[in-house]
């Protein structure tokens, strides 16, 4: 932590701040400059809050220097983490594609889409059984029945499955049925859910909140790792900005930023970022080019009849095209595609 003094702070005020620092068992390092003095603080910084000093006379501002995350940090774990999820490696050189409907609507719908996306080369099946919806009057998902449909389709297609746990009351149930437990953007700071997800026995896909900084995303992941679960996959799904030509603004710089700071894998959800089908393909390619480890994409056979998010769902033919572009792009990025374990 660094305390910056006002220009006209005299020796007495500087001394009083130094004393306040030392009273807390920390060490103060005054750095007199040409215009003003700064005071570095060292010691057990974890217990120190800027508030402790910011109102002392002569203090201009207090700047936090150390970063509050540990387990997710590349400083603590230099090599990139790679997780094996039912035979699919995530975070390695392979680009992983998870595709499927926004909501599980029926067995036939889910199986139909699963077969098509598998044929086009998807590695995992996505589909929501519990849906977070802004309005209480929108379709809320099939719940338990949706999980059973996913399990059945998983068995018939051999595709590993990812689905969302909306809260702690369904977390265990979801974990039982799925290969990856998804925590949605609106729940990124549902700390109770994060802690429990740390003990759910499944890899967790954690979506970045709509207005979360990278630091907050990593701290949310830290909750899960701290609770004992090392297998966390991050997901950038667009942030909320003033821009109105997409539902959210896909922050492609998040990929290199996370890679630099953390060892965790990070994939992209271009569907929720776009909000419109016609932008899903370009956003997918952009995310991969920027360094994403894979994609989470919505596909629907009859988007105009989808019970949720139809407008952003790719048609199977669109998805086929996306996979074909992805296969061409991968080698340029020095990346491959997973060889599916199951056939």
Within 206-235, the residues that bind a second copy by CB under 8 A are: 209-211, 213-216, 219-220, 222-223, 226-227
Sign of CA dihedral 51, 52, 56, 61: negative
The distance of closest approach from Cβ of residue 156 to a second copy in the complex, given in angstroms and rounded to an integer, is 28
Of the two residues 153 and 188, which places its CB atom closer to a second copy in the complex? 188
13 near a second copy, judged by CB under 8 A = no
CB 188 within 8 A of CB 206: yes
- Which residue in 57, 156, 186, 228 binds a second copy (CB under 8 A)? 186
Site for a second copy in 79-98 (CB under 8 A): none
The distance of closest approach from Cβ of residue 332 to a second copy in the complex, given in angstroms and rounded to an integer, is 5
Query: Which tokens sit at 20?
Result: 């306040």
CB burial string 189-212: b at 16+ within 10 A, e below: ebeebbbbbbebebbbbbbbbbeb
Site for a second copy in 100-129 (CB under 8 A): none
Of the two residues 70 and 152, which places its CB atom closer to a second copy in the complex? 70
Return d(Cα 42, Cα 45) in angstroms, integer: 7
66 near a second copy, judged by CB under 8 A = yes
Return d(Cα 70, Cα 219) in angstroms, integer: 9
Site for a second copy in 256-295 (CB under 8 A): 256-257, 260, 273-274, 276-279, 282-283, 285-291
Closest CA to 90 of 20, 166, 183, 160: 160
Of the two residues 242 and 343, which places its CB atom closer to a second copy in the complex? 242
Binding region for a second copy (CB under 8 A) out of 113-121, 145-153, 155-163, 188-196: 188-196
Angstrom CA distances, 128 to 13, 99, 109, 123, 132, stand at 59, 11, 13, 17, 9
The distance of closest approach from Cβ of residue 25 to a second copy in the complex, given in angstroms and rounded to an integer, is 12
């Amino acid at each position: 932590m660094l305390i910056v003094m006002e220009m006209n702070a005299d020796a007495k005020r500087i001394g009083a701040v130094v004393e306040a620092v030392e009273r807390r068992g920390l060490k103060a390092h005054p750095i007199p400059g040409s215009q003003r003095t700064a005071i570095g603080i060292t010691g057990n910084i974890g217990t120190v809050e800027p508030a402790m000093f910011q109102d002392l006379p002569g203090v201009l501002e207090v700047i936090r220097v150390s970063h509050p995350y540990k387990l997710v940090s590349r400083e603590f774990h230099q090599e990139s983490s790679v997780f094996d999820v039912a035979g699919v490696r995530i975070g390695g050189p392979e680009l992983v594609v998870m595709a499927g409907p926004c909501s599980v609507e029926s067995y036939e719908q889910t199986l139909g889409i699963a077969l098509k996306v598998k044929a086009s080369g998807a590695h995992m099946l996505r589909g929501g059984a519990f849906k977070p919806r802004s309005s209480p009057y929108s379709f809320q998902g099939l719940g338990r029945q949706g999980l059973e449909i996913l399990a059945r389709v998983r068995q018939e297609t051999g595709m590993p499955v990812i689905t969302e746990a909306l809260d702690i009351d369904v977390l265990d149930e979801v974990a039982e049925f799925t290969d990856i437990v998804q925590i949605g953007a609106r729940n990124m700071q549902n700390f109770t859910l994060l802690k429990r997800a740390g003990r759910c026995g499944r890899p967790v896909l954690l979506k970045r909140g709509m207005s979360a900084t990278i630091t907050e995303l990593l701290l949310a992941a830290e909750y899960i790792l701290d609770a004992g679960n090392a297998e966390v996959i991050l997901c950038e799904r667009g942030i909320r900005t003033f821009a109105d030509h997409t539902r959210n603004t896909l922050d492609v710089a998040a990929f290199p930023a996370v890679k630099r700071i953390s060892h965790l894998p990070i994939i992209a959800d271009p569907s929720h970022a776009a909000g419109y089908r016609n932008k899903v393909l370009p956003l997918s390619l952009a995310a991969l080019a920027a360094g994403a480890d894979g994609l989470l994409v919505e596909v629907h056979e009859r988007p105009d009849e989808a019970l949720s998010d139809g407008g952003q769902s790719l048609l199977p033919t669109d998805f086929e095209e996306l996979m074909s572009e992805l296969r061409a792009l991968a080698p340029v990025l020095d990346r491959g595609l997973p060889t599916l374990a199951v056939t």
